[in-house]
């Protein structure tokens, strides 16, 4: 399989992957059997298990017959991690705590392996942020992020993503995204947006709108 990356803000409980994403997955991932999940935190727990089981069920619903499922844990040794990545078809970076997920990835020392993985990588919300060359984690008091954090991400894709983007959120734009956009472009993906990125830079919009925030201006690509 060639190197492909998909980014999302999230999925719908009612629609599951949705018809547009399902069609793309059925074409690109039809022969995939082995999947790795990287939690949105520091390891697996009952909540992680619930989401993993749901996602695997959705893959099987559309004819992608996942056989082997691994959830990475902080206690795994380097040899085990490398073996599982080498055998994987899909690496799935889950949503959750963006900063803790990146710390988890760094602690496992698998950032470069994800970047160079010759297969499909899926990033949802926090996972989409961390896949970027430069990552921005916007201020979110509810999630314990008191100040915007900008850091070098995994670099799987050559872009900076802002999931759950809302064009009408003027406070976020003016206080956080506009100042950062004077240094690098930010790609805003709404809750309905799904993207496919090939060769780190080639973006295909599967569905929804894509906003580009650059030099304190916002433009939309449909």
- Structure tokens, 50: 């619930």
pLDDT at 140 (0 to 100)? 61
CA dihedral 49, 52, 54, 58 (to 10 degrees): -160
Q: Containing H/E element for 40?
A: strand 34-40
> DSSP secondary-structure letter at 179?
H
pLDDT at 30 (0 to 100)? 94
Counting beta carbons within 10 angstroms of the beta carbon of residue 35, is it exposed (0 to 12), middle (13 to 18) or buried (19 or more)?
buried
Residues 159 and 18: their CA atoms lie apart, in Å, by: 25
> DSSP secondary-structure letter at 1?
-
Q: Which of 97, 118, 116 is nearest to 38 (CA)?
A: 97
Count of Cβ atoms closer than 10 Å to residue 102 Cβ? 23
DSSP for 127-146 reads HHHHTBSEEEE--BGGGTB-
pLDDT in tens, the chain (222 residues): 679 999 999 998 888 999 999 999 999 999 999 999 999 876 666 678 899 999 999 999 999 999 999 999 888 888 999 999 999 999 999 998 899 999 999 999 999 999 999 999 999 999 999 999 999 987 664 455 567 889 999 999 999 999 999 888 877 788 888 888 899 999 999 999 999 999 877 899 999 999 999 999 899 986
Domain range enclosing 133: 4-221
Count of Cβ atoms closer than 10 Å to residue 56 Cβ? 17
pTM (two decimals): 0.93
Q: Containing H/E element for 178?
A: helix 178-181
Sign of CA pseudo-dihedral 210, 212, 217, 222: negative
> Number of folded domains in the chain?
1
pLDDT at 204 (0 to 100)? 94
**β-bridge mates for residue 221, sequence order:** 210
pLDDT at 20 (0 to 100)? 96
Residues 21 and 120: their CA atoms lie apart, in Å, by: 14
SS3 of residue 56 by DSSP: helix
What CATH number is given to the structural domain containing 23? 3.40.50.880
Q: Which of 84, 66, 71 is nearest to 30 (CA)?
A: 66
Residues 177 and 126: their CA atoms lie apart, in Å, by: 17
């Amino acid at each position: 399989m060639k190197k492909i990356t998909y980014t999302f803000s999230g999925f719908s409980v009612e629609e599951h992957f949705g018809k547009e994403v399902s069609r793309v997955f059925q074409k690109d991932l039809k022969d995939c059997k082995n999947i790795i999940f990287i939690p949105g935190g520091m390891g697996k727990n009952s909540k992680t298990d619930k989401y993993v089981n749901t996602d695997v069920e959705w893959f099987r619903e559309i004819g992608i017959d996942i056989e082997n499922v691994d959830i990475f844990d902080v206690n795994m040794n380097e040899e085990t991690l490398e073996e599982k990545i080498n055998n994987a078809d899909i690496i799935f970076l889950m949503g959750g705590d963006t900063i803790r997920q990146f710390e988890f990835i760094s602690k496992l020392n698998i950032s470069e392996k994800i970047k160079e993985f010759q297969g499909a990588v899926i990033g949802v919300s926090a996972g989409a942020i961390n896949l970027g060359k430069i990552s921005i984690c916007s201020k979110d008091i509810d999630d314990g992020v008191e100040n915007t954090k900008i850091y070098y991400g995994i670099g799987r894709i050559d872009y900076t993503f802002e999931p759950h983007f809302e064009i009408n959120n003027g406070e976020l734009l003016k206080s956080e995204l506009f100042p950062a956009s004077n240094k690098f472009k930010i790609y805003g993906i709404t809750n309905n947006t799904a993207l496919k990125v090939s060769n780190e830079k080639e973006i295909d919009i599967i569905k929804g709108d894509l906003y580009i925030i650059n030099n304190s201006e916002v433009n939309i690509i449909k």
